[in-house]
Amino acid sequence: MLRVLAVTLGLCAAVVFSARGADGDAKPAKGDDQKAARKELIEKYDKNKDGKLDKDERAAMSAEDKEKWAKASGGGKKKKTQ
């Protein structure tokens, strides 16, 4: 009886881990799109050519590009300020 329980538990764990692995396969494509969008916007608005967009450079963005930046930078979540 203990062997049956151990085998059943092992099979359940295998199913859970394989299902999680299958979900992870779709994420890199989205990340590549986000990276491409970030790169495009940085090339367009980075006036001081430091590879980053500072507050003034982000303020100069069009509304459409601000939406793209929010999506490419993590879904528009705001960073906490200290």
With a threshold of 0.85, does the pTM exceed it? no
Distances (CA, A) of 25 to 21, 31, 36, 75: 7, 11, 19, 20
- Residue of higher predicted confidence among 60 and 32: 60
pLDDT surpassing 80 at residue 18: no
Name the pLDDT band for 13 (thresholds 50, 70, 90): confident
Chain segment 58-75, per-residue pLDDT in tens:
999 999 999 988 888 876
pLDDT recorded at residue 81: 52
Inter-residue contact 37 to 68 (CB < 8 Å): yes
C-alpha 42/C-alpha 38 separation (Å) is: 6
Inter-residue contact 24 to 17 (CB < 8 Å): no
Q: What's the alpha-carbon Rg for the chain, to the nearest Å? A: 22
pLDDT recorded at residue 57: 92
